[in-house]
Amino acid sequence: MDFAAKRSETTKFYLLAGLGALVSGIGILAALFMEHHGHSVTGMNNQIVWGLPHVFAIFLVVAASGVLNVASIGSVFGKVVYKSRGMLAGLLCFSMLAAGLLVILLDLGRADRIMVAATHVNLTSVFGWNMILYPGMFGIVVVYLWTLMEKRMYPYSKPAGFAAFIWRLMLTTGTGSIFGFLVTRQAYQSAVIAPMFIIMSFAWGMAVFMIVQKVMYLWNGMSLHPQIRARLKNLLAVFVAAVFYFVAVYHLTNIYFAKEVEFERFILLDGGIFPLLFWGGWLLVGTVLPLVLIFAPGVSNTPGSVTLASLLVIVGAFCQLYVFIIGGEAFPLEIFPGMTATSSFFDGRIDSYAPSLPEFLLGVGGLGIAFTMVVVGVRVLKFLPEDNIAKLEAAGALAD
């Protein structure tokens, strides 16, 4: 690379890092604003206590677990095509998990009291479990990246990858169980939620990886081999279809129980913004259109179709989480089925929620933090996935 090209690359790096830092800083300032003025400046209330920042945070945490699936396929299941992508997947996992947890921490208020939760772990609470699962995930990912980056440690990459595979399943189960074990909301308390979160992590993580990989290849003037592209997009499609299955099972199971019928009517038909986001956002934009872009003849091989499909999956993910988290809180718990309960605490009333600008900026700030960490990490550690096509063809890795 000549001096002019190198200088251009350096300029691009600083511009991207500066943009990420700016967005991150705005998000932190928004958190400080809410911290100073209290939740009265947000759209949250006594019933809807997890707002838009939690939608961003849960997406980042769940996708962080799922993006490591790319590394697991290479290290644990021995698929050679995925091995060169293990380091980038590990970096994305670390960055997105850190960003998601930071958003949650800043949104809850009194971030300094995290030390109380860290030093007084309540193992009877699923939140207490996460105080073990999240730090453990950071440690395992660091060790896994170490085994991939240093030759003398490479023989340990498979055990480290296997540990990361098991731990991330536990982590996503713990995240889903936050809702699955919650009995004070009509939408939650279901055994289906934990496995549903696991498969959602696979789809969302894969979509994020596809976009980041595409951007990195464009930045370096590279293109993805057609057979590798086909394999990755088909895997994304399988995960998207699996998410559809689990979401359908979740809602059909609820409809089967008489006590959940009113909630399902609210979410799927009468809930205003929630049915619109569910049917139009998640199902149409986030599920049907990506599958059409991936499989439709004459469309699937069009340049950019897989990247667009990945973007739509992420849009659908945000719609799904908004419906699941906000809609689940807005609908009141039916304590006495078939009867009307009213009090000065608004029992039995469907609540409303309109996210405020600071909430939105905090959520976007989380994306900025993850973006900045990935940009710096890729620049410093050289995590660009590079495929030796001749070697892969000789080993028959592109045909298995």
Q: Is the pLDDT of residue 180 over 90?
A: no
Tell me, yes or no, whether 2 lies in a domain: no
Tell me, yes or no, whether 279 lies in a domain: yes
Segment 259-278 mean pLDDT: 88
Q: Please provide residue 222's backbone torsions phi and psi, each rounded to the nearest 5 degrees.
A: -115, 165
Q: Is the pLDDT of residue 395 over 60?
A: no
Q: What is the CATH number of the domain that holds 145?
A: 1.20.1630.10
Q: What percent of the chain has pLDDT over 90?
A: 35
Q: Give the pLDDT score at 93.
A: 92
Residue 158: give the domain boundaries: 10-394
Segment 333-342 mean pLDDT: 66
Q: Is the pLDDT of residue 399 over 80?
A: no
Tell me, yes or no, whether 3 lies in a domain: no
Q: What does pTM read for this prediction?
A: 0.91
Q: Give the pLDDT score at 60.
A: 95
Q: Is the pLDDT of residue 342 over 60?
A: yes
Q: Is the pLDDT of residue 318 over 90?
A: yes
More confident residue, 40 or 278: 278
More confident residue, 335 or 236: 236
Q: Give the pLDDT score at 313.
A: 96
How far apart CA 389 and CA 137 sit, in angstroms, is: 33
Segment 8-26 mean pLDDT: 88
Q: Give the pLDDT score at 398.
A: 59
Find out whether 78 and 71 touch, Cβ atoms under 8 Å: no
Tell me, yes or no, whether 4 lies in a domain: no
Number of compact structural domains in the chain: 1
The residue whose two tokens read 């809807």 is: 48
How far apart CA 262 and CA 254 sit, in angstroms, is: 10
Q: Is 208 exposed, middle or buried (0-12, 13-18, 19+ CB in 10 A)?
A: buried
Segment 54-69 mean pLDDT: 92
How far apart CA 352 and CA 137 sit, in angstroms, is: 36
Q: How confident is the model at residue 314 (pLDDT cuts 50, 70, 90)?
A: very high
Segment 274-281 mean pLDDT: 93
Tell me, yes or no, whether 303 lies in a domain: yes
Tell me, yes or no, whether 374 lies in a domain: yes
Q: Is the pLDDT of residue 338 over 70?
A: no
Q: Give the pLDDT score at 393.
A: 57
Tell me, yes or no, whether 1 lies in a domain: no
E strand or H helix that includes residue 200: helix 193-219
Q: Give the pLDDT score at 206.
A: 93
Segment 54-59 mean pLDDT: 94
Q: Which of 57, 49, 47, 324 is nearest to 192 (CA)?
A: 324
More confident residue, 254 or 392: 254
Q: What is the pLDDT of residues 223-256, one digit of tens each?
A: 777 888 888 888 999 999 999 999 999 989 888 8
Q: What is the pLDDT of residues 85-96, one digit of tens each?
A: 888 889 999 999
Find out whether 208 and 178 touch, Cβ atoms under 8 Å: no
> How far from 344 is each of 44, 341, 349, CA to CA, in Å?
18, 11, 11
Q: What is the pLDDT of residues 104-139, one digit of tens each?
A: 888 877 777 777 777 777 777 777 788 888 889 999
DSSP state of 333: P
The pLDDT mean for the chain works out to 85
